[in-house]
Amino acid sequence: MDFMVACAFFMVTIIFLTMIIFNYLAPLKSQSESSEFASEIYRIEGILTKSMLSYYDRYKGEIFEGLLDESKIENLYYSNYSEIKNKIGIKDDFRISISPAITNWHFPNFKYRKMIVVNVSNVNVSVCISFPRGHAHADSLRLVNFSGNLIPFELKNSTYWDDNKTWLKTCTLEFSTGDGRYLFLYYNGSATHPANSTLNLSVSNASVVVGIEERYLSFGVYGAKYSGKEKAVDERLITLRESPRIAYISGSNIEYSILNELGYKVDFYTDKNISDLVDNIFLFDAVIVGSEAGRNLVINSNLSRKEVLDYVNLGGSLLIFGQNIGGYGWMRNFGIVEWNVSGLNQTVHNFSLKILRSPNDLGLVYPSNDSIYLSSSYGNSSYTFYSVPKVINRTLYRKIDKITVNRTRINESLIKNGDFDSNADFWDFTNTSPYIEGDWELPGHIYVDLSTSNREGEGIWVQTFEYTNTTLINEANLSFCYNVSVWNSPGSSNILSVNLTLPNGTDAKIWEESIASTTGGWICITKDVSKEFSEIGNYKIKLISHLSTSNAPSEVKVQWDNISLNVSYNPTIWLEGNIGEGKVSITGDEPTYSRHKKLIENMVEWGLPKKSIYTYKMVVEVW
Amino acid sequence: MVDRHGFIYVYEAIIASVVLLIFSAALFQLVPFQSTSHPINLKNEGYDVVRCLDYEGTLDIAIYSGKWDFLKIRMEQLLPEYVGYKLTIYNESDVIASLSRGNKSGDVVVINYLKASNSNYSSILLCMEVWHE
């Protein structure tokens, strides 16, 4: 029997050892923590992909889930881990890695490729391929079949991003497919030995499809160093939008700061290194000339170089912030001349320049004390510019509602009868309980009163107003005063708040305060609500008194007065137009002077091309 | 014959050993766990692939050109090998393509993805069924 017991003991030991070795007992521990880890992982993934790293589409005014902004990823990788961990709000350690979701990358030294699919094999085909700016050096192309074997090809009809014919924009490839139907075209930003040759193929009319551009660039690992503890891992596919490459030529630190605040990654140039920029200008998606920078003699001289004109003619974007163009001689290369106006009122009509188009009323008198830039015919070309004032509605980037070159701030009051001098006209009162009263009273204010014990509800004063201004506002200050004149309700919950109901129906909470006693007099509050005015339509201001009373005798009374909502704006003008394949945009209103973030954003967004989107794999580990 | 005291000691030793082993196993197992084959993960995997195909532009190219093998190659580059799928693509009235890999087994998750019309094509509905192979 002792032997049997010993055998049983031995068997149990073996079984348990086996279970340990093969991790059968792991759930005993890991499952208790798995739900916690899983929620942490999903939280990190959610924050990264839905807000922290996500790409914000300024035209559509929305964030796309799972589409990340490359510049935000780069910023994350330079950020302090502890700060990011606090920002995300997790207690466990984590790390992420972001790497391209690619397979069978045949040439690790090449950064880009496109897949080419032909509908049949063993045919000679011709296919037109386009390349983003600065991606394909003309001597870098390599064509391979699915197995990575080089395929000879002939390059025809090439167009370039630069006058030196270095950077390919489009080309036609002629080649013989061989046995396969799937091929890859690799290319890179640096020159290698040219691989194209003369084949003189007789091409068939086979159907060819060119795929999206894939990129071989990993972001590595970010986060804590793995400590060997138990961990959870999850893997997600994401897409990321390549950062546009923007150069800013010094003019104003404020403009440069605004560009950074808006999330643009910008290379900064001064008169010390402007020649480097002009030498490599073809690599930039947009070049911004800061306010007054164009008057600097060194900058002016460099911007006069042929490369700048070629850059625009071949598809670049030149965005000019400035005024008083006396020193901007280089702009004449583009056929742009100043139109100086003086005096407070100018009639914009009957001139030969093609700048203004419907629906601008050329017969109107426009108040002005500023200069703007206009285009004129240049040689045999006719450049057409048109004017677009800054507008608030996202969809109105191209819509012209108003034109003015007035730099005088315009102020407008949106609330009617906010001082309640003799009545509460234009205001409506609603309540959620019949015990809550609201009315106007002397010496001139409105009130909300709850004087019945053990009751609760809201008394709301509302005014609806219409906002129709299509010019972006600089400031919108909402002011109001309140006075808790009676408070005898210990232990009850009393909250005052002010909301704005936007035209789309959503409520924006502007202010909220809990009250637990009388205020001993009027308290006045001012809030900047400019960010709420991003659309035109009917708004509502709501003065909300959430009142409750305790056992008798109990009463709460709140008074409201001096409600105002004043908006101010500096109308501006910016001109945009096409020269050759490129774009030029000019504003005569200095963003520096008026600190118009929206003006800068509008101009830059208009000038930027659509950037490539790549699919990546994001691995998140938590322990 | 067996000594009674001996039995008691052996049982005690066995029980103690079992307790010790369970404790050790629970304490020292350090194997990381991967996200499981939960339907939520499967749904994420399928949805991520369709969304990436859309955002990166492959879906546009495939719909516009009608070259569905092109879409299949790209999809199978992105989907893990252990995930089987069946993708049915509808226009406003008919099935215009059906792609698949593997045979349905276990939990099958269905993802519907509507691609709005543009100047090149009318609205497209993608119905994707995914499962772990």
ipTM here: 0.74
CA angle, A550 as apex, A544 and A556 as ends, to 5°? 40
For residue A108, give both structure tokens.
Answer: 């690790």
Has residue A401 been placed in a domain?
A: no
Mean pLDDT of A47-55: 88
Please check whether residue A402 lies inside any domain of the structure. no
If asked whether residues A270 and A199 sit together in one domain, one would say no
Q: Decide if A545 is inside a domain.
A: yes
Chain A residues inside the 8 Å CB shell of B23 = none
Q: What is the pTM assigned to this prediction?
A: 0.69
Question: What number is the average pLDDT over the span A175-186?
Answer: 92
- CB contact A147 to B (< 8 Å): no
| pLDDT tier at A37, thresholds 50, 70, 90 | confident
CB pairs < 8 Å spanning A and B: 130
Question: Tokens at residue A592, please?
Answer: 């520096």
Query: Do both A283 and A194 map to the same domain?
Result: no
Q: Are residues A68 and A150 in the same domain?
A: no
Predicted pLDDT of residue A387: 43
Measured between CA atoms, how close is A33 to chain B, in angstroms? 10
CA distance A255 to chain B (A): 32
The answer to whether the CB atoms of A26 and B33 lie below 8 A apart is yes
Shortest Cα distance from B101 to chain A (angstroms)? 18
Do A320 and A418 belong together in one domain?
no
How far away is chain B from the Cα of A52, in angstroms, using its nearest Cα? Answer: 18
Round to whole Å and give the CA distance between A562 and A445: 8
Q: Are A466 and A496 in a shared domain?
A: yes
Domain boundary among A189, A206, A241: A241
Mean pLDDT, residues A81-108: 89
Q: Are residues A483 and A562 in the same domain?
A: yes
Q: How far is C-alpha A575 from the geometric centre of its chain's CA atoms?
A: 22
Clarify whether residues A455 and A557 are in a common domain: yes
Select the residue from A2, A4, A5, A622 to test the B interface by mutation, using most B Cβ atoms within 10 A: A5
DSSP assigned state of A48: I
CB A445 within 8 A of CB A522: no
The domains of chain B are located at 1-31, 39-132
Q: What is the DSSP string of B35-97?
A: ----HHHHHHHHHHHHHHHHHHTHHHHHHHHT-HHHHHHHHHHHS-TTEEEEEEEE-SSSEEE
Give the total number of structural domains in chain A.
4
Query: Does residue A405 register a pLDDT over 60?
Result: no
Kindly identify which residue of chain B lies nearest to residue A101, measuring between CA atoms: B78
Among A573, A607, A576, which residue's Cα sits nearest to residue A591?
Answer: A573
Q: Can you tell me which residue has the tokens 């979701």? A: A101
Residues in chain B: 133
Output Rg (C-alpha) for chain B, integer angstroms. Answer: 26
Percent of chain A with pLDDT over 90: 47
* Residues in B touching A231 (Cβ below 8 Å): 32
Residue ranges in chain B modelled with pLDDT below 70? 1-11, 21-40
Distances (CA, A) of B86 to A246, A351, B49: 43, 64, 13
**Do A230 and B32 count as a contact with CB atoms less than 8 A apart?**
yes
**Which of B55, B67, B75, B85 to probe by mutation at the A interface, max A CB count within 10 Å?**
B55
Among B32, B49, B61, whose Cβ lies nearest the Cβ of A237?
A: B49
**Gap between the Cα atoms of A265 and A246, Å rounded:** 7
Taking a C-beta distance cutoff of 8 angstroms, is the pair A561, A420 a contact? yes
pLDDT score of A368:
37
Residues of B in contact with A6 (CB under 8 A): 10
**Which among A1, A211, A233 has CB closest to B74?**
A211
Indicate whether A4 belongs to any domain. Answer: no
Does the residue A41 lie in any domain?
A: yes
Cα torsion B39, B41, B42, B43: sign: positive
CB-based contact A229:B29 (threshold 8 Å):
no
A386 - beta bridge partners?
A576
Cis peptide before A553 (omega within 30 of 0): yes
Bond from prior residue into A359 cis (ω within 30 degrees of 0)? yes
Chain A interface, mutation test: which of B35, B37, B59, B81, most A Cβ atoms within 10 Å? Answer: B35
Chain B contact present for A30, CB below 8 A: yes
A57 pLDDT more than 60: yes
Instruction: Tell me which residue in A34, A64, A613 faces B56 most closely, judged by beta carbons.
Output: A613
Handedness of CA A576, A579, A580, A581 (dihedral sign): negative
* Chain B residue closest in CA terms to A616: B52
Query: Residue A19's closest chain B neighbor by CA?
Result: B25
Quote the mean pLDDT of chain A.
Answer: 81
Chain B positions with Cβ closer than 8 Å to A: 2, 6-7, 10, 13-14, 17-18, 21-22, 24-35, 41, 44-45, 48-49, 51-52, 55-58, 61, 65, 67, 69-70, 73-74, 77-78
- Residue A160: phi, psi to the nearest 5? -130, 160
- Token duo for residue A13: 């030991």
For residue A553, what pLDDT band results from cuts at 50, 70 and 90? confident
CB contact under 8 A, A66 and B52: yes
At A301-313, the pLDDT tens digits run 999 999 999 999 8
pLDDT of B121 = 78
Could you tell me the pLDDT band of residue A333, with boundaries at 50, 70 and 90?
A: confident
> The CATH number of the domain where A444 resides is what?
2.60.120.260
pLDDT at B36: 45
- Kindly state whether residue A58 falls inside one of the protein's structural domains: yes
The helix or strand, by DSSP H or E, that contains position A253, with its residue range, turns out to be helix A253-261
Q: Out of A28, A212, A230, whose CB is closest to B30?
A: A230
DSSP letter for each residue of A573-605 = EEEEEEETTEEEEEESS-HHHHT-HHHHHHHHH
- Domain shared by A448 and A539, yes or no: yes
CA A622 to CA A89: how far, in whole Å? 13
Q: Which residues form the domain of A59?
A: 28-101+221-241
Band (A458; pLDDT cuts 50, 70, 90): very high
pLDDT digits (tens, 9 = 90+) for A203-223: 888 889 999 999 999 998 999
pLDDT tens per residue across span A565-619: 998 765 555 666 777 788 887 776 556 555 567 678 878 888 899 899 999 999 9
Task: Give the tokens for residue A74.
Answer: 């780069």
Residues of B in contact with A66 (CB under 8 A): 48, 51-52, 55
User: CA-CA distance, A9 to A262, in Å (whole number)?
Assistant: 70
Pair (A422, A495) in one structural domain? yes
| A476 and A542 in a common domain | yes
Would A405 be classed as within a structural domain? no
| Contact between chains at A233 and B26 (C-beta distance less than 8 A) | no
Question: Are B32 and A237 inside 8 Å of each other by CB?
Answer: no
Pair (A422, A524) in one structural domain: yes
Look up residue A78 and give its DSSP letter.
Answer: T
Residue A406 has pLDDT above 80, yes or no: no
CA distance A135 to A574: 31
pLDDT winner (highest mean) among A244-258, A270-284, A407-421, A489-503: A270-284
The beta strand positions in A242-376, using DSSP E, are: 246-249, 266-269, 286-289, 317-321, 336-339, 345-347, 365-367, 372-375
**Are B73 and A26 in contact (CB < 8 Å)?**
no
pLDDT at A374: 39
pLDDT, mean of residues A218-233 = 86
Q: How far is B122 from chain A (nearest CA, A)?
A: 20
Query: What pLDDT sits at residue A443?
Result: 94
Contact between A29 and B26 using a beta-carbon 8 Å cutoff: yes
In this complex, is the C-beta atom of A191 within 8 Å of any C-beta atom belonging to chain B? no
pLDDT at A367 over 50: no
What average pLDDT score do residues A492-511 get? 92
Q: Is position A582 within any domain?
A: yes
Domain holding A303: CATH number? 3.40.50
Same domain membership, residue A513 and residue A453: yes
Report the pLDDT value the prediction gives residue B39, as an integer from 0 to 100.
58
